[in-house]
Structure 1
Amino acid sequence: MQLDTCFSLYERRHIRLMVCDSPSPNISQFANVRSLEQLTNSLSGRWIAELVAEKRYRSLMQPIVSATDYRQVLGYEFLFRGMKEDGTDVPPPILFDTAMRADVAYMLDMAAGESAIETAIDLSIDGDLFINILPDTLARPEGLDAWLTTVVEDRGVDTERIVFELVESQQMADPELLKTLAAWLRSAGARLALDDFGSGFNNLVMLTDVRPDFIKLDKSLVQHLTHDPQKWNMVANIVDSAKQAGVRVIAEGVEDKVTASALRDTGVEYLQGYYLGYPAERPVGLRARQSVSMA
């Protein structure tokens, strides 16, 4: 992949002009000068494009297990990690925040999805494949359609195993648009999960109108659940509403046995978190999950 394909002639001319030391720039040069913030974002986008072009990334996976039997694995969430030239990880918040500012998040989403599929194939992963996706990417179904064909189907992966996990779903304020996109996903054979459920004012509307296949409870609802009766009741009510809508519930951020037990009592069907397995380059083995007590 040539970096020139990622940047227009205008942008490359802009970068040269911003660093030129001409004491008397002409009027055409002034017309191309933009803010330092815009220049920084352009350069950040170039750096991310290089990371993607050189395939300096990998996928970690974290198991999602049954709340009643930790040996039953629903699937894995794939977590994208970009790497610096020295092989160390770029902190995920920096990577994705920079990509959004530089308007290259779509490129990163596509790379993350391909990395997840390649990892699943290489390791012969069974179960559902939860792949994170941003609202802007989901809103471009023509690109996703091509991706499902070339990256998933052409490699022999069943499209029905793909669950697009919509992050920052509260930013997609139009439930009708999300409902339409969810219907398109299902027609293509894939499924939809709403991440961070319970953190936005419009989540109940999303649940009843969009009817995603899964919701993942926001970690703020899971943390300190056993010490907050109101929070426990809130989670139980969300679970009850989800079941009435035919939506399955996953609780993220489960870090101890007490919390796992409390979530099971609310009716949550699936659990994910450090207590069940850390993100890793290979799936957590059966023996490791058996060692986690459900008592």
Structure 2
Amino acid sequence: MQPEFSGSTGIIYLAWHGKMKDMGDYRSILHMNWKRFVEQAILEHNCSGRDEVCLSGQWIRNDLYLCLQLPHETEELEEQLLELGNRLKKDWGRRFRFISLSADLYPWLAGLKLHAGIALLSGEMSEEDRWYEGIKRAIVHGQSACSTERSLKRRALEQYIIGRTINSVYQPIISLKDSEVYGYEALSRFPDKRWFEGPQQLFDFAAKEGLMYPLDRLARERAIEGCSGLTAGQKLFINITAQIMEDPSFTPGKTLQLLERFGLSPSNVVFEITERTSIEDFGSAKKILNHYRKQGYQIAIDDAGAGYSSLQSIVELQPDFIKIDRSLISGIHLDPMKEHMVHTFTEMAAKMDTSLVAEGIEEEEELLHMKALGIPYAQGYFLGRPQQSVG
């Protein structure tokens, strides 16, 4: 018999998924203990008054459906439901594993993962249909063990994009010939680290979710918007990924308009292609980059020496700058092999008429080595930390 709903209501689906080999009678014992645990956990939750919601549990075989009425009519109802489902999955899963360990049931639970899914129920259908549709949506949403976390991450990412809350900080790139600031690398920052440890994790997740293009466009725009203090001869290095070059909206017109609004020109901009992702179609990439070069933009290969195809990218794309990855710079004064590899980069750059930038200078000895090797430009904490604006 399905429960009755009114107002803003939701379902949280919780079920153990995975392989249970040779369990025998332990399967029924495990499920019995899980149901007993859930009954007590629901009672504790309702008595605590936490979240201002009262839970009621409905079982279909061994799958649990928590029914609840949400307290307020707000636009964040789905997010509240996701937050609660994610927290219950983590908390109840951890506590039940601990109980199972003391009850000698843990070996049978080790191969299982607790899944959670959620569904908001529409008021535009009968009670029976609402219950049926809600169960279906909650099960589909809970197919992955990380579905609630993924949904919350995606929501956070979408809010960053819609709210334009991605900002840029600027790390100076220093000329080692005269110690003047040659330019700045724009580095993306976001409001909090609740769901993403840093920009790399944010952009990796955006790529998986199909949101790389709007995120990259926003980061590019914010980088330009914050660099009004750039002088005519200085460069702004803007990170882009190889995949972005396939974006049909990645056009010089929009970027040019934005540059002109802040008194800049394409000659100020260096598009920095990260080498941590491979370029699959060099023919297409060269065509696109040549189009940009004709507009006055320059190209840099980032993370050289740490990516999938650094040498091929350098040879194929003929960049204006090669940025040597921190992994080759760190402790170079103590490592002859690193010194030999960087020296090889200097010889190659000289033949290609390409400039080198040493990344991640953190010690004076590293800086002195770069100067001795004839590296023209460098950046790193020893030379200057990222700052809120340029100039």
Question: Secondary structure at the residue paired with 2:205?
Answer: helix
CA contact (8 A) 1:44 1:102 kept: no
What is the distance in 2 between the residues matched to 1:175 and 1:267? 30
Say whether residues 1:133 and 2:240 are aligned partners.
yes
Residue in 1 aligned with 2:347?
240
Q: Given the superposition, is the C-alpha separation of residues 46 and 272 from structure 1 closer, same or farther in structure 2, using an over 3 Å criterion?
A: same
The CA deviation string for residues 219-275 of structure 1, in whole angstroms up to 9 with x for no partner, is 111011111111101101111101211111000000111111111222211010011
- Matched AA of 2:268: R
Choose from 188, 191, 216 the match for 1:83.
Answer: 191
Choose from 145, 149, 172 the match for 2:252.
Answer: 145
Residue in 1 aligned with 2:334?
227
Q: Given the superposition, is the C-alpha separation of residues 52 and 265 from structure 1 closer, same or farther in structure 2, using an over 3 Å criterion?
A: same
CA contact (8 A) 1:251 1:272 kept: yes
Say whether residues 1:105 and 2:205 are aligned partners.
no
What is the distance in 1 between the residues matched to 2:205 and 2:307? 23
Q: Given the superposition, is the C-alpha separation of residues 184 and 141 from structure 1 closer, same or farther in structure 2, using an over 3 Å criterion?
A: farther
The CA deviation string for residues 126-147 of structure 1, in whole angstroms up to 9 with x for no partner, is 5111111111212225433243
- Matched AA of 2:336: P
What is the distance in 2 between the residues matched to 1:233 and 1:157? 39
Report the more deviating stretch, 102-111 or 41-50: 41-50
Choose from 338, 357, 363 the match for 1:256.
Answer: 363
Q: Given the superposition, is the C-alpha separation of residues 44 and 102 from structure 1 closer, same or farther in structure 2, using an over 3 Å criterion?
A: farther
Q: Given the superposition, is the C-alpha separation of residues 158 and 170 from structure 1 closer, same or farther in structure 2, using an over 3 Å criterion?
A: same
The correspondence of residues 1-295 of structure 1 with structure 2, limited to 5 A, is: 18-19=118-119, 24-25=132-133, 33=140, 35-36=143-144, 40-70=149-179, 72-84=180-192, 91-121=198-228, 123-126=229-232, 127-140=234-247, 142-168=249-275, 170-200=277-307, 202-283=309-390
CA contact (8 A) 1:153 1:159 kept: no
Q: Given the superposition, is the C-alpha separation of residues 92 and 270 from structure 1 closer, same or farther in structure 2, using an over 3 Å criterion?
A: same
Question: 1:77 deviation in Å?
Answer: 0.3
What is the distance in 1 between the residues matched to 2:360 and 2:230? 26
Question: Secondary structure at the residue paired with 2:257?
Answer: helix
What is the distance in 2 between the residues matched to 1:68 and 1:251? 13
What is the distance in 1 between the residues matched to 2:311 and 2:157? 36
The CA deviation string for residues 80-132 of structure 1, in whole angstroms up to 9 with x for no partner, is 1111499xx963233223222222122111111111111112x3555111111
What is the distance in 2 between the residues matched to 1:281 and 1:106? 24
Q: Given the superposition, is the C-alpha separation of residues 75 and 193 from structure 1 closer, same or farther in structure 2, using an over 3 Å criterion?
A: same
Higher-RCO chain (CA-CA 8 Å, sequence separation at least 6): 1
The CA deviation string for residues 137-172 of structure 1, in whole angstroms up to 9 with x for no partner, is 122254332432332234432111111111135411
Report the more deviating stretch, 109-118 or 196-205: 196-205
- Matched AA of 1:73: V
What is the distance in 1 between the residues matched to 2:270 and 2:296? 10
Residue in 1 aligned with 2:38?
none
Question: 1:189 deviation in Å?
Answer: 2.1
Residue in 1 aligned with 2:37?
none
How many residues are paired up? 264
CA contact (8 A) 2:171 2:379 kept: yes
CA radius of gyration, larger in:
2
Name the TM-score, length of structure 1 as normaliser.
Answer: 0.78
Q: Given the superposition, is the C-alpha separation of residues 263 and 148 from structure 1 closer, same or farther in structure 2, using an over 3 Å criterion?
A: same
What is the distance in 2 between the residues matched to 1:44 and 1:147? 29
The CA deviation string for residues 40-85 of structure 1, in whole angstroms up to 9 with x for no partner, is 5454333212122223232111111112221x22100011111149
Question: Secondary structure at the residue paired with 1:143?
Answer: coil
What is the distance in 2 between the residues matched to 1:182 and 1:69? 31
What is the distance in 2 between the residues matched to 1:170 and 1:264? 30
Unaligned runs of 5+ in 1: 1-16, 285-295
CA contact (8 A) 2:175 2:376 kept: yes
CA contact (8 A) 2:170 2:186 kept: yes
Name the TM-score, length of structure 2 as normaliser.
Answer: 0.60
CA contact (8 A) 2:279 2:313 kept: no
Question: Secondary structure at the residue paired with 1:171?
Answer: coil
